Structure 1
């Protein structure tokens, strides 16, 4: 399940993607526009800055802007930064694989196979959806209707 933190991060990044020509947007404005608690948003923006997805500018006219073009930042990147791996269980993860201690035969494990399919499907959608596509409303509409 998507955490509230990841949801707020996606909302903030979409708000920044909507800015023209890298215009700065202050955290308070994002919080108000997106109905996100400001203090929580500031922590999220700090993490996104540390991960190279946003730039921050100090001062009276400071604020935040995307560090990369909106068509190069995917939902998958943002979700992984906020929530970690997409896999619902560690043995299905590609980036943080960890064998389950209660599994006798990992290769034959039906649960692992199913959760790997869940992970792969989620990754296909989230890694294939950029901020620019979502901003324009092209959010894999064909996938969402099936």
Structure 2
């Protein structure tokens, strides 16, 4: 099963929070506020936000009313962009990015893996930060009662 790292999970959580705070039109959110609301490690979150800022996904401002906010509307930030910044360009396998591998001559799965990676990439590109920021937990299933026929 493909798993994202905690780094990406925390990054997505922070982006979703910034989207809920008003996106690019909202005020800046300081690291302490994000840490307090999400209960994530401060040092790791600061590194994540720095990387997202360098990539142009969040805007940073220094000073007493500084912090972070989205640079673009959450609907225009795809999960593919976020994952590429926080996980690197070859999420699935190195050979899926066109790179070379020491096993390429005897590899029987390379083309199949590339197809899977392309599908995952398209899926991530089709989902925005707004999509996940606005998601609500599914309601608990109602109790199902069955009548037994005799």
Scaled by the length of structure 2, the TM-score of the pair is 0.80
Q: Which moved more, 1:8-17 or 1:116-125?
A: 116-125
SS at 1:110's partner residue?
coil
Instruction: Indicate which of 68, 71, 83 corresponds to 2:72.
Output: 68
8 A contact 1:86–1:123 mirrored in 2: no
For residues 51 and 14 of structure 2, the distance between their equivalents in structure 1, rounded to whole angstroms, comes to 12
**Unaligned residue ranges in structure 2 (runs of 5+):** 137-150
2:21 is matched with 19
Which structure's CA Rg is the greater one? 2
1:37 aligns with 2:41: yes
Gaps of 5+ in 1: 139-146
Q: CA RMSD in A?
A: 1.9
Partner deviation per Cα, 1:57-83 (whole Å, 9 max, x = no partner): 211222111011111101110010011
How many Å separate the matches in 1 of 2:39 and 2:120? 26
1:110 aligned residue: 108
Which structure dedicates a bigger proportion of its chain to helix? 1
Question: Any idea what the Cα deviations from partners look like across 1:44-66, whole Å, max 9, x if unmatched?
Answer: 11111111111112112221110
| Pair 1:82 & 2:86 matched | yes
2: CA distance, partners of 1:52 / 1:87: 20
Moved over 6 A (4+): none
What is the CA–CA distance in structure 2 between the aligned matches of 1:86 and 1:98, rounded to whole Å?
A: 9
Any conservation in 2 of the 1:91–1:100 contact (CA below 8 Å)?
yes
TM-score (structure 1 length as normaliser)? 0.82
Q: Does the aligned pair in 2 maintain the 1:27–1:42 contact within 8 Å?
A: yes
Cα distance in 2, alignment partners of residues 87 and 78 from structure 1? 12
Number of positions where the alignment pairs a residue of Structure 1 with one of Structure 2: 133
